[in-house]
Chains A and B, each alone.
Chain A
Amino acid sequence: MVNYRVMPNEKPDEILSILAADARTTPERIADLTGSPVDVVVAAIIDYEKRGVIKRYKTIIDWEKTGQERMFAFIDVKVQPARDVGFDNVAKRIYRFPEVQSVWLVSGGSDLRVVVHGGNIRELGRFVAEKLATIDGVIATDTHFLLRRYKEDNDIFVDLEDDERLVVTP
Chain B
Amino acid sequence: MKEEKKTTPPLAKLARELAPSGIRRFFDIAASMQDVISLGVGEPDFVTPWAVREAAIYSLERGQTTYTSNYGLIELRKLISEHLQERYSVNYRPDDEILVTVGVSEGMDLAMRTILDPGDEVLVPEPCYVSYKPCVTLAGGIAVGIATSAENDFCVSASQLQAASTSKTKAILLGFPSNPTGATMPRAALEEIVKLAVASNWFIISDEIYDRLSYDEMHNCVSSIPGAFERTILLNGFSKAYAMTGWRLGYVCAPEAILTPMMRIHSYTMLCAPITSQKGAIEALRSCESAVQDMISQYNRRRKFIVAGLNKIGLQCHLPKGAFYAFPSIASTGLTCEEFAERLLFEEHVAVVPGTAFGMGGENHIRCSYATSLEKIETALIRMGRFVERLSGKSLVEQSR
- CB within 8 Å of B: which residues of A? 1-11, 14, 17-18, 29, 32-35, 163, 165-170
Structural contact, B300 and A168, CB atoms closer than 8 A:
no
B179-219 toward A: CB 8 Å interface, digit per residue (1/0)? 10000000000000000000000000000000010111010
Q: Find out whether the CB atom of A170 lies under 8 angstroms from the CB atom of B82.
A: no
| A167 pairs with B304, CB closer than 8 A | no
Chain A residues within 8 Å of B218, by CB: 6-8
- Distance in Å: Cβ of B354 to nearest Cβ of chain A: 11
**Cβ of A14 and Cβ of B42 under 8 Å apart?**
no
A169 to B371, CA, bound (A): 12
Chain B nearest CB from A38 CB (Å) reads 11
Name 12 extra pairs, CB < 8 A, besides A2-B82, A32-B308: A2-B83, A5-B293, A8-B212, A11-B293, A11-B297, A14-B297, A29-B305, A32-B309, A33-B305, A35-B304, A168-B27, A168-B353
Q: Which of A18, A166, A168, A170 contacts B301 (CB 8 A)?
A: A18
With beta carbons under 8 angstroms apart, the residue of B42, B215, B289 that contacts A3 is B289
Can you spell out 19 A-B residue pairs with CB atoms less than 8 angstroms apart?
A8-B292, A8-B296, A9-B214, A9-B293, A9-B296, A10-B300, A11-B297, A18-B301, A35-B319, A165-B41, A166-B27, A167-B38, A167-B40, A168-B23, A168-B31, A168-B41, A170-B129, A170-B131, A170-B179
Q: Which residue of A lies closest to B374 (CB)?
A: A33
Q: Which of B207-249 contact A (CB under 8 A)?
A: 212, 214-216, 218
A76 and B45 alpha carbons, distance in the complex (Å): 40
> Taking the complex as formed, is B61 at the interface, i.e. its CB lies under 8 A from any CB of chain A?
no
Q: Which of B268-297 contact A (CB under 8 A)?
A: 285-286, 289, 292-293, 296-297
Give the secondary structure class of B's interface. helix
A169 touches B82 (CB 8 A): no
What's the least CB distance linking A37 to chain B, in Å?
A: 12
Residues in chain B near residue A34, CB distance under 8 A: 301, 304
Give the residues in chain B near A9, CB-CB below 8 Å: 214-216, 293, 296-297, 300
B168 proximal to A (CB < 8 A): no
Q: Name the distance in Å between A100's Cβ and chain B's nearest Cβ.
A: 32
CB nearest to B85 among chain A residues: A2
Q: Which chain B residues numbered 349 to 399 have a C-beta less than 8 Å away from chain A?
A: 351, 353, 372, 374
Known: A2-B79, A2-B86, A6-B218. A169 touches B301 (CB 8 A): no
CB pair B43 A163 closer than 8 Å:
no
Closest to A18 in B: B301
| B158, CB-defined interface residue at 8 Å | no
* Assembly CA distance A3 to B86 (angstroms): 8
* Bound-state Cα–Cα, A163 to B351, Å: 15
Set B41, B87, B130: member contacting A167, Cβ < 8 A: B41
CA distance A18 to B308 in the complex (A): 17
Decide: A167 and B43 in contact? CB cutoff 8 A.
Answer: no
- A1 neighbours in B (Cβ, 8 Å): 82, 86
Whether B69 sits at the interface, judged by CB under 8 Å, is no
Beyond A2-B286, A6-B218, A32-B308, whether A167 also contacts B30 by CB under 8 A is yes
- Give the distance in Å from the alpha carbon of A166 to the alpha carbon of B218 in the complex: 31
CB-CB under 8 A from B57, the residues of chain A are: none
- 0 or 1 for each of B31-63: is its CB under 8 Å from A? (1 = yes): 100001010111101000000000000000000
Rounded to whole angstroms, the CA-CA distance of A33 and B106 in the bound complex is 36
- In whole Å, how far is B313's beta carbon from the nearest beta carbon of chain A? 13
Contact A165 B304 (CB under 8 A): no
CA distance A169 to B130 in the complex (A): 10
Known interface pairs A4-B289, A8-B212; A167-B31 also in contact (CB < 8 Å): yes
Residue of A nearest to B217 (CB): A7
User: Which 7 residue pairs across A and B have the least CB separation, nearest first?
Assistant: A168-B40, A168-B27, A33-B301, A167-B30, A35-B304, A170-B130, A32-B308
Min CB distance, B326 to chain A, in Å?
Answer: 13
A14, B302: Cα distance in complex, Å? 13
**Distance from A124 Cβ to chain B, minimum over Cβ atoms (Å):** 33
B21 contacts the other chain (CB 8 A):
yes
Q: Tell me whether B31 and A32 are in contact (CB under 8 A).
A: no
Q: Are A166 and B289 in contact (CB-based, < 8 A)? A: no
Least CB distance from A26 to B in Å reads: 12
Residues of chain A lying within 8 A (CB to CB) of residue B26? 168
Nearest-Cβ distance from residue A114 to partner chain B, whole angstroms: 30
Q: How far is the CA of A9 from the CA of B296 in the complex (A)?
A: 6
Query: Which of A6, A29, A165: most chain B CB closer than 10 A?
Result: A165
Contact call A165/B45, Cβ cutoff below 8 A: yes
How far is B293's CA from A14's CA once the two chains are assembled, in angstroms?
13
- Taking CB atoms, residues of chain B closer than 8 Å to A4 are 86-87, 289
The answer to whether A169 and B23 have CB atoms under 8 Å apart is: yes
Closest chain A residue, CB of each to CB of B378: A29
Q: Provide the residues of chain B in CB contact with A2, threshold 8 Å.
A: 79, 82-83, 86, 285-286, 289
Enumerate chain B residues within 8 angstroms of A18, measured Cβ to Cβ: 301
- Looking at A4, A33, A170, the one whose CB has the most chain B CB atoms below 10 A away is A170
In the assembly, what is the distance between CA of A57 and CA of B23, in Å?
A: 44
CA distance A65 to B130 in the complex (A): 47
Q: Which residue of A lies closest to B341 (CB)?
A: A168
- In the assembled complex, which residues on chain B have CB atoms less than 8 Å from the CB atom of A29? 305
* Interchain CB contact under 8 A, B86 and A169: no
Minimal Cβ-Cβ distance residue in A for B22: A170
